[in-house]
Amino acid sequence: MLMGNSPLPDNLGIRPARPEDKGFIESLYRSTRDDLRLIDAETDFIEELIGMQQRAQGQGYGEMFPNAMYFVVEHLNERIGRIVVDFGPNEIRLVDLAFVPQARGRGFGVTVIKAMQFAAGQSRAPLTLAVNRTNVRARQLYLSLGFRVEQSDVMTEYMAWYPTAAFMQ
């Protein structure tokens, strides 16, 4: 599963997040919020807003997914991303997956999601996630990996992947 320091293809590894990863995780979050940098406001205000959004996200994850586990994704022992996973009683929920800008678009997300699918298959549980409708690239990626839309609202599509016999060995 995703315990310890799990080696993956492409020289990737997934390990539990540690206290010393806090600065990396904060920097990673900031790198994902270019949308807020488009606001017509002072830089200090925008940076404070990004910090507030990050704290709100952390609090929200804590409330919605109190048993979630936080992992760091490494490439050649360099931190390049993070993944938040909730191993629930009936599903494995991919809560969040993010990579530093230099690691985006290089196939690392596919590798990590396939590892999650393997874990879900071994657990005989669906792998679920939510994706913002405006995130077309992510949505296309999930569909190409066998996820299907189970539910949707104005902002979000809720997707699930169900393990096949090949994954449940």
Mean pLDDT of 123-142: 93
Name the DSSP class of 77.
T
pLDDT-based confidence at residue 44 (cuts at 50, 70, 90): confident
Spans of all domains in the chain: 6-167
Q: What is the pLDDT of residues 105-125, one digit of tens each?
A: 899 999 999 999 998 998 899
Q: Which two tokens stand for residue 102?
A: 């230099």
Nearest to 131, CA basis, from 111, 153, 114:
153
Average pLDDT score over residue span 55-72: 80
The token pair at 131 is 């994706």
CATH number for the domain whose boundaries are 6-167: 3.40.630.30
| pLDDT single digits (tens) 147-167 | 999 999 999 999 999 998 776
What does residue 39 show for φ and ψ, rounded to 5 degrees? -65, 140
What pLDDT score was predicted for residue 37? 61
Query: Within 13 A of 40's CA, how many CA atoms are on the CB side?
Result: 0
The DSSP code sequence of 9-48 is: TTTEEEEE--GGGHHHHHHHHHHT-HHHHTSSS-HHHHHH
Give the confidence band of 40 by pLDDT, cuts at 50, 70, 90: confident
